[in-house]
Amino acid sequence: MRKTAFIYTDRYSDFDYGDAHPLKIYRLKLTYELIKSLGLLDIPNSKFVEARKAQEEELLLFHDKEYLEVLKILNEGANIKKAYLYGFGSGDNPVFKGLLDWSLFVTGASLQAAELVDSNEVNIAFNIAGGLHHALRNRASGFCYVNDPVITIEYLRRRGRKVAYIDIDAHHGDGVQEAFYSTNDVLTISIHETGKLLFPGSGFETEIGSGIGEGYSLNVPLPPFCDDEIFIYAFSEIVPAALENFRPDIIVTQLGVDSFVTDPLAHLNITNNAFVKIISQLKNLSERWVALGGGGYDIINVVKGWTLAWAEMNDIKLSEKLPKEFFDRYKSWGFKDESIFDKPYIVSGDIKEKMKEAVEKTIRFLYDKALSKIK
């Protein structure tokens, strides 16, 4: 019987990127509330774990000391002149009071997930706040100040584990790819909207790793407007085959839901029906799974998507509707109706054929140039 852990703290709600910013931290609280109201924190073989704050030194598993010093100053809410050199102050990466504390909670929760899975206490641990995959060693990027996936992977790697990182956010997992680009003990896979149109402008299929890491970085850039069928096809063609070659001890996933059809920041047309199918596949690909959240800027997608994911991790099939009490209480946050599952969204005609051809071409390229090198 599989064991699971859900890691969360209400302390996340102490922080705020600001009214105009697309990353709404309250999406986490709302997700937690739905999960709780469905009774999904009270199931056999599953436990709730209060998120801990990471130690500042744990950030140094990836970030450099100078950058940590900058984070410590900005944490007080005071801006400093040179902050822009570290990626701060733009609309994407605002300075707000407690930004380091926020990042320490997110990272602490991801490390707890890794500790729980690595010690075999649980098979799957889910930190919905994690997955801030764009942060670089000494620079904030794409709403991410501290790269908790890299720190988590580095923690596991130093314990001698082979880690496969799988990222299904609409945006390329650039920070994670870059951190492990020249190594063969971490495999990174990112399936995302093509960087031709979307931040961070990278993640092309030709980025396959370098030196001994050649073949250990896989990217499937998707054409805009891809639907469930193409998303599942891309995932199913690449991820199981790559993991079969690599045979990881642990998988770490970034489960961004900004790939969904109504997300305001990206242009993919995925629904939560495909998302659940992918969660189901992941569950069967590894006995040890550190699951992290990620992007998601339509709050309702986040709440439903990650609740469905958590249910699927626990082999629970949810009924079609939100609990009435939850719906009545929170409908003003943007719930249009009581359904949990999205209506199917299918792209057809010429545009679909062209998408299929483009993705097939990418997959052939990856089999030829990268997958065969993975051991």
The residues that are catalytic are 172
If the CB atoms of residues 164 and 257 are measured against Zn ion, the closer one turns out to be 257
Structure-token match 């995959």, residue found: 133
Stretch that binds Zn ion, among 65-73, 146-154, 213-221, 291-299 (CB under 5 A): 291-299
**Contact indicator for 264, 307 with CB cutoff of 8 Å:** no
Contact call for residue 174 and Zn ion (CB under 5 A): no
Stretch that binds Zn ion, among 46-54, 119-127, 251-259, 343-351 (CB under 5 A): 251-259
H-helix segments, 75-220: 99-118, 148-158, 174-179
**Contact indicator for 263, 257 with CB cutoff of 8 Å:** yes
Contact call for residue 133 and Zn ion (CB under 5 A): no
The distance of closest approach from Cβ of residue 169 to Zn ion in the complex, given in angstroms and rounded to an integer, is 4
Stretch that binds Zn ion, among 159-167, 214-222, 256-264, 281-289 (CB under 5 A): 256-264
Query: CA dihedral in degrees (335, 338, 340, 346; nearest 10)?
Result: -80
If the CB atoms of residues 89 and 296 are measured against Zn ion, the closer one turns out to be 296
Contact call for residue 193 and Zn ion (CB under 5 A): no
Contact call for residue 169 and Zn ion (CB under 5 A): yes
Query: Pairing relation of β-strands 186-193 and 217-222?
Result: parallel
Q: Which DSSP string do the residues of 199-251 spell out, in sequence order?
A: TT----TT----GGGTTSEEEEEEPTT-BHHHHHHHHHHHHHHHHHHH--SEE
Give the C-alpha separation, 288 to 299, whole Å.
29
Among 58, 258, 312, 342, binds Zn ion (CB under 5 A): 258
Give the C-alpha separation, 311 to 374, whole Å.
32
Stretch that binds Zn ion, among 164-172, 214-222, 297-305, 367-375 (CB under 5 A): 164-172
Give the C-alpha separation, 304 to 171, whole Å.
20
Contact call for residue 296 and Zn ion (CB under 5 A): no
Contact call for residue 295 and Zn ion (CB under 5 A): yes
The distance of closest approach from Cβ of residue 129 to Zn ion in the complex, given in angstroms and rounded to an integer, is 14
The separation between CA 192 and the C-alpha centre of its own chain, rounded to angstroms, equals 11
If the CB atoms of residues 246 and 260 are measured against Zn ion, the closer one turns out to be 260
The distance of closest approach from Cβ of residue 170 to Zn ion in the complex, given in angstroms and rounded to an integer, is 5
* ∠ Cα 62 125 198 (to 5°): 55
The tokens describing 350, both together, are: 């010429």
Give, rounded to a whole angstrom, the gap between the first and last alpha carbons of the chain.
30
**Contact indicator for 73, 100 with CB cutoff of 8 Å:** no
Among 94, 130, 256, 305, binds Zn ion (CB under 5 A): 256
If the CB atoms of residues 127 and 314 are measured against Zn ion, the closer one turns out to be 127
If the CB atoms of residues 207 and 258 are measured against Zn ion, the closer one turns out to be 258
Q: Count of residues binding Zn ion (CB under 5 A)?
A: 6
The distance of closest approach from Cβ of residue 295 to Zn ion in the complex, given in angstroms and rounded to an integer, is 3
Contact call for residue 171 and Zn ion (CB under 5 A): yes
* Closest CB to Zn ion: residue number: 295
Beta bridge partners of 5: 47, 125
If the CB atoms of residues 248 and 256 are measured against Zn ion, the closer one turns out to be 256
Stretch that binds Zn ion, among 2-10, 37-45, 252-260, 278-286 (CB under 5 A): 252-260
If the CB atoms of residues 143 and 246 are measured against Zn ion, the closer one turns out to be 143
| Contact footprint for Zn ion (CB under 5 A) | 169-171, 256, 258, 295
